[in-house]
Structure 1
Amino acid sequence: MKNQYRVHAALFLVTLIYAATYSLAKDLMPVYMHPFGIVTLRVLGASIFFAVAKQLAAPHDKIRGRADNLRALFCGVSGIGLNQLLFFSGLNYTSPISASLLQTISPIVVVVASAVLLREKITLFRLLGILVGAGGAAALILSRPAQATIYPHATLGNIYILLNATFFGLYLVLVAPLMRKYHPFTVLGRIFLIGALVAVPFGWREALTTDYAHFPPKIWAEVLYMVFFLTILAYLLNNWALKYASPTLLGVYIYLQPVLAVLIAVALGKDTLTWDKAGQAVLIFVGVWLVSKKPKRSPARDGVLAAQD
């Protein structure tokens, strides 16, 4: 029973960390830092941490074989490099609520990717869920935001977030076999190193030219939050909790994340919830629910809350 409480605590903390990111990142971008500069700090910090952790926890564990190394390469490119670059670029252009809602479609992408890559069967309910969820996402992407003057490039930002969720869904399907076969720190150390090689060339100039001397304490705290809490702590808590959490429990927290993101964004004055967004949210939620209806236990689906931002 105590362990179950710990699982809930870990999943809730991770969900809260992700939910707060949508609003807190708005304090950083673009006034103090640009998106790629934030990504550079995140992946470099996490790469160093997980490289050290791997040497301490599993010094002799090594990813072997051409197939596993190619899988790790794709996971690092899609799940870390492109995922991070697209997420912060999209969030820079769109509103926190829109970004959080579009992120929710990752389970739909997992089902589609599993059907294509793992030849898993798509039931009628899941097919309907894919169509409904896609309709909600399309309506959200193409809608004109209420704060059009604040987010003039919201459509582009929404497309980036959709691509981010797509790459994340593919990553979840492909990383699961590696997590089962090797120590988590071995996998995370490798994929973050690859992700850094992808992301840093895009963001090193932004990271170096940032005027850190004029950061107020609040901004420094948010930079620390992005590097430590959002990247390192979220990955660690997820990898532990996913060993014990059921798919049903994970589904609860999938829905909770955008709800918390909306509450935080509205409370901090970063966004407003309109009837249009509420309707689009309902379509996406219904789609995700249909897709997740009576799922078979699958490591790919069980990992749907793994670190995405």
Structure 2
Amino acid sequence: MSRRLLAIFAAIGATTIYALNHTIAKGVMPHYVQPFGFIILRVLGAAILFWFISPLGPKERIDPKDYVRMLICALLGMAMNMLVFFKGLSLSTPINSSVLITTSPIIVLILSAVILKEKISARKIIGIVIGLLGALGLILFATEVRQDAPNIPLGNFLIFMNSMFYGSYLVLVKVLIGKYHPFTFMKWLFSLGVLICLPFGYEEFMEISWSTLPFEAYFGIGFVILGTTFCTYLFNIFALTQLKASTLSAFVYVQPLVGIAYAVLTGQDTITTVKIVAACFVLLGVYLSSKKPKTTSGELKV
């Protein structure tokens, strides 16, 4: 099996885990664990796991000239995106989260144009506008009233901000991925993430009543640490060694399909007209903005 095919499977596995995470993590917050306290568990647990397996990789030192980029990647990919996502998920619903997270390819495209100076075609511009209109509609017109979702518009906005931060991370991290082994890279990135997140989540982390947590809460915490954080980041890092950032971000199509189905089947969320229309706009926008142009005669397809 080729490394590129393995990378595709890794990308599918990561996005499937993310899709399940919308419902599983929501089941833990905020009744058992507050969102920022959950982030401390997430980054600390992943940091410990990556340090544990790091001896399996080569011994490497971080080049001093990469310190700033490493810190920015940790800030975007291990701190800000997680903090706003979990806070947003605690205020919103699993289906809203599954839909809004698919805006990541659009954000990657915009940032690639701004930072990497990639050209954007007219079709992609139309896709960006349509996708952002879908996200905006979900933020402004989600009027459900649910006890476990106290502020859906704000939650939706924070989840959308997660896409912006994670999209920025995917663009900036590409340089470092080609330079360091994934184990080296991730152990330092998550260690920095712990330091960055600690001031935000320490108080909520200390409030966790471990002796009274039921099994499903422990399962949810374990799934988020081992699956949503450790495995997915490892899968994505490996996928990025073989795939472009824009290609990897396109696998986000799987998330709303699996995420919505799982949320509905488990009774954790319901489908509404606003969610359907917004999802159609977002997915159409992502499709138009990420669709590759047709190759001319004699040109090889990649």
Distance 1:255 1:287 in 2: 11
Alignment partner, residue 12 of structure 2 = 12
Alignment partner, residue 267 of structure 1 = 265
Q: Kindly tell me: are residues 248 and 207 of structure 1, through their superposed partners in 2, closer, same or farther at Cα, counting changes over 3 Å?
A: closer
Contact 2:177 2:237 in 1 (8 A): no
Deviation digits for residues 203-262 of structure 1, max 9, x if unmatched?
Answer: 122222211101122221111111111111112223334445588975763211111000
Alignment partner, residue 111 of structure 1 = 109
Distance 2:12 2:76 in 1: 26
Alignment partner, residue 25 of structure 1 = 25
Distance 2:105 2:79 in 1: 20
Contact 1:145 1:151 in 2 (8 A): no
Shift of 1:147: 3.5
TM-score by length of 2: 0.90
Alignment partner, residue 299 of structure 1 = none
One-letter amino acid of the structure 2 residue matched with residue 51 of structure 1: W
Deviation digits for residues 148-172 of structure 1, max 9, x if unmatched?
Answer: 5653311111111111110000011
Alignment partner, residue 48 of structure 1 = 48
Unaligned runs of 5+ in 2: 295-302
Q: Does 1:194 align with 2:225?
A: no
One-letter amino acid of the structure 1 residue matched with residue 234 of structure 2: L
Alignment partner, residue 226 of structure 2 = 228
Aligned length: 294
Alignment partner, residue 36 of structure 1 = 36
Contact 1:135 1:283 in 2 (8 A): yes
Contact 2:135 2:278 in 1 (8 A): yes
Alignment partner, residue 152 of structure 1 = 150
Alignment partner, residue 305 of structure 1 = none
Distance 1:249 1:120 in 2: 14
Shift of 1:2: 7.7
- Alpha-carbon RMSD: 2.3
Q: Kindly tell me: are residues 12 and 216 of structure 1, through their superposed partners in 2, closer, same or farther at Cα, counting changes over 3 Å?
A: same
Q: Where does 1:82-161 land on structure 2 (aligned, <5 Å)?
A: 82-147=80-145, 150-161=148-159
Shift of 1:187: 1.7
Alignment partner, residue 254 of structure 1 = 252
Q: Does 1:64 align with 2:57?
A: no
Shift of 1:34: 0.4
Q: Does 1:237 align with 2:235?
A: yes
TM-score by length of 1: 0.88
Shift of 1:293: 1.8
Shift of 1:72: 0.7
Q: Kindly tell me: are residues 5 and 185 of structure 1, through their superposed partners in 2, closer, same or farther at Cα, counting changes over 3 Å?
A: closer
Q: Kindly tell me: are residues 247 and 172 of structure 1, through their superposed partners in 2, closer, same or farther at Cα, counting changes over 3 Å?
A: closer
Q: Which moved more, 1:97-106 or 1:144-153?
A: 144-153
Distance 1:215 1:31 in 2: 10
Shift of 1:130: 1.1
Deviation digits for residues 48-91 of structure 1, max 9, x if unmatched?
Answer: 222333344122x122133x211111000111111111110000
Q: Kindly tell me: are residues 247 and 114 of structure 1, through their superposed partners in 2, closer, same or farther at Cα, counting changes over 3 Å?
A: closer
Q: Does 1:204 align with 2:206?
A: no
Q: Kindly tell me: are residues 113 and 281 of structure 1, through their superposed partners in 2, closer, same or farther at Cα, counting changes over 3 Å?
A: same
Shift of 1:202: 1.2
Distance 1:194 1:276 in 2: 39
Contact 2:139 2:153 in 1 (8 A): yes
Shift of 1:276: 1.7
Among all aligned residue pairs of Structure 1 and Structure 2, give the percentage whose two residues are the same amino acid.
38
Contact 1:132 1:284 in 2 (8 A): yes
Q: Which moved more, 1:154-163 or 1:245-254?
A: 245-254
Q: Kindly tell me: are residues 9 and 27 of structure 1, through their superposed partners in 2, closer, same or farther at Cα, counting changes over 3 Å?
A: same
Distance 1:259 1:252 in 2: 13
